[in-house]
Amino acid sequence: MTPPGNAPQRKYDLLLKNGRVIDPSKPMDQVADVAILDGKIAAIEQDIDVKRSRRTINVAGLVVCPGLIDLHVHCNLYKNPESLDPTAAGVYTGVTRMVDPGDNGAYTFQAFRKAVIESTPTRIHSWLNAAGLGGFMYGLYNTDVCLHPTLIDVDAAVEIARLYPDFIAGIKTYCAPEGWGSPDGTEVYTRALAIADRARLPLYIHSGSPSPEGYQAYGGRPMLYGEEVTREQALTKMLEMLRPGDVVAHPFSTFAGTVWNSVEKRVSHGVREAYARGVRFDSGRGAHYSFAVVRNLMNAGVLPYTLSSDRHAEDNHDEFVRRASVGLCQHMSEFLAFGMSLSDVIMRATWNPAKVLRVQDRAGSLHLDKPAEIAILALRDGNWTLQDAPFFGKAPGTLKAKQLLTPVMTVVDHRVYPINPAFLPDLVEIQVQEDVWSWMKERPPHHTSYEPVK
């Protein structure tokens, strides 16, 4: 009989050697080895012998952190023409988990689950649109499919939320004059809130509207309770009704009457109170995002709880859509350039969004025995000029960056997904990625059986 102490130890499936391991949930920032066995994190130690693993990847000089969680990516390829492939935009850009930002509602979620969620290694959640048809559809814009109270089917949405608690992150609706301030008063919002209350889920609110057409559709002005209001008044009223844990997207919008009042150069009324009460602000970078607004809000002490890309298809003919094709790593780099620490930036793309999604037991950190969802990133020194995404007719704002985070590979369960530069549409990222790529190829294959895929 073999004594237990002499039993042959099972080898790890994968060893990530000598990386700079950053896990803001602990917090931890030190050079260490990470071992994976049976798709779970089996050890994080100073020096793990390579003989104890079947496969080792040398990640010296790279950042090893929890897989990035992007709370806002348009990924419903079969419904929204502005969508990205969730595999290419997910595990191949450092993002192991992403959330559909309401392109799906109760009537379309089942198709989304079959066609998208079940066919990608990227973990997908959904901000279920309060409106049954969800947001964007081919040939129809949001005003047609989700900004009228009669389009909201409370019972159907509650049913889907109950059937799929692992996938439904919360309920999406809009603080836009076309909906929230329509002649129907608060009806769109109160119906969304009814779904969220019955399903015990947070709300995810789009803020910001360019939309003169939206006003015109309802007589030319935003309305609330049948009275004409400014966009800021509509925002303030909505913020008062939000609960701790609810999420407001796009605080850095360049549009007037949003979280930053760009006309009167101040934080809009109700924002500080909501912020103090535990309402969370998700950056939702996207197409109407302004560096100037980021600076103003950060100076005023209003920080995003989470960083998300609001990424759209890069090959779209629409300039507005193409501007919204920046990945999460580059968005994180912007906040490094604004002076936020690396750990705080990573926390806003890992641990904080895990808390928003209530998935701390399986994502957002590098704790022992948790499923492996890991991002390996390069933090590159250099000089870059980044651009924001102003609305039409204005020159983009610029931001000097001395460091750029770029994805190198991800690990989900026991599988490794190396980055292919072809997946990265943004010019700045392509340039840097090719740089990282050639650098990776030149690295000595120190104890590694891993070959990058071209």
Give least dist CB 98 to Zn ion, A: 12
CA 436 to chain centre: 23
Nearer to Zn ion, 120 or 308 (CB): 308
Give least dist CB 310 to Zn ion, A: 4
Give least dist CB 14 to Zn ion, A: 34
Give least dist CB 103 to Zn ion, A: 8
Comparing C-alpha atoms, which of 67, 74, 170 is closest to residue 123?
Answer: 67
Contact 93, 81 (CB under 8 A): no
Catalogue the long-range contacts made by 258-265 (C-beta closer than 8 Å, 24 or more residues apart): 258/207, 258/208, 258/231, 259/207, 259/235, 259/293, 259/297, 259/302, 260/293, 260/296, 260/297, 261/232, 262/293, 265/296
Give least dist CB 179 to Zn ion, A: 15
- Nearest position to Zn ion, beta carbon: 310
Comparing C-alpha atoms, which of 92, 122, 91, 121 is closest to residue 100?
Answer: 122
Nearer to Zn ion, 20 or 288 (CB): 288
Contact 203, 245 (CB under 8 A): no
- Residue 218 makes CB contacts below 8 A (sequence gap 6+) with 177, 178, 181, 182, 183
Please give the DSSP secondary-structure letter assigned to residue 292. Answer: H
In this chain, which stretch among 228-236, 302-310, 360-368, 388-396 interacts with Zn ion, using CB under 5 A?
302-310
Residue of 67, 90, 94, 101 that binds Zn ion (CB under 5 A): 101
The count of other CB atoms within 10 Å of the CB of residue 400 is 9
Give least dist CB 380 to Zn ion, A: 28
Nearer to Zn ion, 310 or 426 (CB): 310
Nearer to Zn ion, 310 or 314 (CB): 310
Pairing of strands 280-282, 247-249: parallel
What are the CA-CA distances from residue 27 to residues 51, 153, 367 (Å)?
A: 29, 43, 11
Give least dist CB 141 to Zn ion, A: 13
Nearer to Zn ion, 101 or 177 (CB): 101
Using CB under 5 A as the binding rule, whether residue 251 contacts Zn ion is answered as no
Distance in Å from the first CA to the final CA of the chain: 50
Size of the site for Zn ion (CB under 5 A): 2
In this chain, which stretch among 41-49, 106-114, 176-184, 309-317 interacts with Zn ion, using CB under 5 A?
309-317
Using CB under 5 A as the binding rule, whether residue 184 contacts Zn ion is answered as no
Q: Which of residues 34-73 bind Zn ion (CB under 5 A)?
A: none
Using CB under 5 A as the binding rule, whether residue 310 contacts Zn ion is answered as yes
Nearer to Zn ion, 90 or 101 (CB): 101
Nearer to Zn ion, 101 or 327 (CB): 101
Nearer to Zn ion, 101 or 214 (CB): 101
Give least dist CB 65 to Zn ion, A: 25
What are the CA-CA distances from residue 336 to residues 128, 187, 381, 430, 445 (Å)?
A: 31, 40, 12, 19, 31
Q: Which residues bind Zn ion (CB under 5 A)?
A: 101, 310
